[in-house]
A and B are shown apart, each in its own frame.
Chain A
Amino acid sequence: MKILVPIAKVPDTTSKIAFVDNNTKFSPDGVTFIMNPTDEWYALVRAIELKEKQGGEVVVIHVGLADSEQIIRKALAIGADKAVRVDADPTDAYFVAAQIAAHAKTENYDLIIAGKETIDYNSYEVGGMVAELLDLPCVALVQKLDIENGVATIKREIEGGTETVEAKLPLVICAQKELAEARIPNMKGIMGARTKPLAVVPADATEKLTAITSYAVPEKAKECKYVSPDNVAELIRLLHEEAKVI
C-alpha cells in the first residue's frame, strides 16, 4: 500500500504570537517551528502503522521553503520512507492543495492521510481540497481507520457522537485525535533519516485565491470580575442580569 502524508510547519503552541509590518505579517522572531501536531501524531503515525502491518511505502510531502528541512527529517525519523518538498511559500490553501494533488497524480497512492487542521490557521481545508482536485472520496475528523482488502472502515466525529463508514480505496482521510498514539523517533530512526531520499521540486503555477491583508491581536486580556465563594448567589445574579446568559 502506498500512502501519502502531507505535513505542515507551524509555530509551537506556546509561541508568542506577534505581527510586524503594520500587522500584515506574522513575526517569526523567537518562535520555534514544529511539525503540525495532527499531521505528526495521528496522520503520519497511522500511515506508518498501516505500512508496518500490510507492507508498502509512506511518503511525506511538504510545501515550504528550505528552512523546513528539520521537520521533514523528523517525519523520516519517525518512519516515513521518503519525502518530497515543494519549494514554495505556503500562503494559500488552494495553492498548497494543488501542489500536493499535482504530485499525487504522478504516483498511484492508495491512501492520502492529512491532519484535520493546522494549529496556526485552524482551517481544516487542505485534505478536502486535495480530494476534490483528485476526485476522490474523503472522510474528515477521523478517529479510527482500518483497511482490509481495499476497503477502509472509518470512524468519524459527528455532532454529539461518531459514525462508522466504509469507503473503497483510493481515499483521502483527515485525521484527528485517537487515530494513533504519537511516536518519539529513536536513535536508529534519527540516524536513518539522514540518508532517506528528500526530493526538492519546484512549485507549479497555480494561482493563489486568498490573501491575508492584516492581523489583529485581541486588545487586552479580559478583566475578570471576582465573586466571593461565600456569595455564590451574586454570581448567578450577574450571569442572569448582567451577562444575560442564563
Chain B
Amino acid sequence: MLPVFLRHALPLFLLPSAALAQTSFPLAGTVTNAATGQPLPHARVIALRTSGDGETREVTFTDAAGAFRFPALPAGRYSLLAHKPRYTPNHLSPTPSIDLSAPREQVSLPLVPYSVIAGQVADTDGQSLRLVHIEAYRQAVVLGHHRLIRAGTAFTDDRGSFRIWDLPAGRYFVRAMSRAGGTFSLADESAPSTVGRRAFAPVFAGGFERLAEATPTDLTPGQQARVDFRLLHLPAYRVRGRVTGFQPAVPVRFELRRPDTEPTEPRTFFNPATGNFTVFDLLPGSYQLRIRQGERSAALTAEAPVNVGAGETSPVLLALLPPPTLTLRIEGPGTLPCTSLLIDGDHPTQPVAYLDPDKPTRVPAGDYHVSVFCPDSVPESIRYGSAELLGSERITIPADAPPGDLTITRSRRSGKLFIAREGESAELPVLLLPGNAAMGAPRLLEATKIVRPAIQLLPGTYTLYSLRDRLAPYRDPAFLGQLTRGISVQVEDGQTTRVVVEKLSQP
C-alpha cells in the first residue's frame, strides 16, 4: 500500500495548469531483480522530467507484483529512477531515458542487488572472538595507481559473527584488523578491567599479512560470500605516554602506522584532563604512533616512533603542533603563475590543499598526489626539499616537517603536442609516457574528434599508447612494462607535433 501522503499527492501533482493543456500518457512497467529476474515489490520509482520549464518529478511505489504505474504523465522525455533497499539505485549507472509520446505499458527497470560478505572469527582454539574489526577493501585504480578502497567495515558480535552489506559486485580483500579500536576519553587512569591481554597481527583472508598473498573474494551481484578467520592470539603489550599542547574540548584520535600496511586505530584510553594515554593490544614490533586533533586543514598532529617489546616501554611524549606549512615558489621564465593542488590518494575527489605562489599554506602530514598547473609554460622540476617530484608526482609530508617550499622551475624550452582523432566520434583514452622520469609522470589523455588545444611538453621522445580502459593502473610499473605497440613521438623545442590517433593500435 502506498504511504498516505503519496496517495493524496499524486493526483495533485498531475493537475497543475500547464499539464492540462498537454497530451498525457500512461507510463507503467515492472521493477525486477537484475540477477534473478524476479519482480520487486515496494520499490520506489521516480519519473523525472527535465524540460525548458524546469524539472518535475512524480513518485510511486511498485505493488506486491513489482508493477508500477503513472496513469497520466505529460508527453516528454523522462528518466525513470528506481530504488529499493539492498539494491543499487539505477541512477548510479546511466539511467534509461524514455520518450513518452504514446502510452508505455511495459517498461522494465532491472535493479542490481548488492552483495554481502559475512563470516565468523575465532582463535586457533576455536573460541569465537568478539569486537574484532573487519575491513573489506575493493580493488580500484585511483589516479593511475592500484589502490584498495575501504568499501565496508564491521565488528564481530559476541558470537564472532560479522556482516558487511550493500557491497557492489567486484573483487574484494577482507582483513581482520585488530580488536575494536578507537580512542576513548576517560578521566579514570586505572586500566579498565576487561581489556584483553592478547592480540593478533592484522591478517587478510587466507591468513596472510601481505595483500600480495591474500585470497580475493569475488562477488557477483546479490551474492553472499562467506569469509572466516582463524586468528593466532599472541601476548600483547601496552604503551603509555602523555600528550601536550591539546585543546580540552576536541577529541584526539590515535593512529598506528607500520611500513606497507594500512594504518590502524588502536584501542586507546586518553585522559582529557591530564593528557595521559594508554594504547592497548600492541604486538611486539616497531610502529609510528600518530595523533590528530581537529579537522583536516586545522588539525594539530604529532607523531613518534614506538618500539613495543616484552614488558613496559618507556612513556611516549607527543607534543601536538599545527600542521607544517608549505609555500609554492616559482622559478624560470613565464608570465602566468603556476598553482598546485595536493590530493589525498585515497580520496581523490577531495583536494586537501590549494597552493598559490608565495603564500604559506597548512598541509596536514600525509601522502599526497601533486597536481601542477602552469598556464603558459612547462615545469622541468618540482622539488620538495631535495626530493624531485616531477616523475612521480607523489609527496610525503611528515608531521614534524619544518615549514617547506614546493619549488616549480619552469623550463625555457617546450614544444607542443596536438592529438587528434578522425573517423569515430567516441573518446579514446590515450596514455602519454615520457622517455624518462626527468620529463614528467605518465599522463592519461582523451583523444576526441573535437579539436582540443595542444598540450605543452618538455622536448624529447614520448610514447603514446591507446588504452581500452580509463581505469587502467597507468602509474604502475608492472602495467607499463606490459604495454606494447605504442608509437613514438618526438616533441621539438618551439615546434608543434601533430598525431592522429587512428594510427595507434590497441594493446
A, B in one complex: no
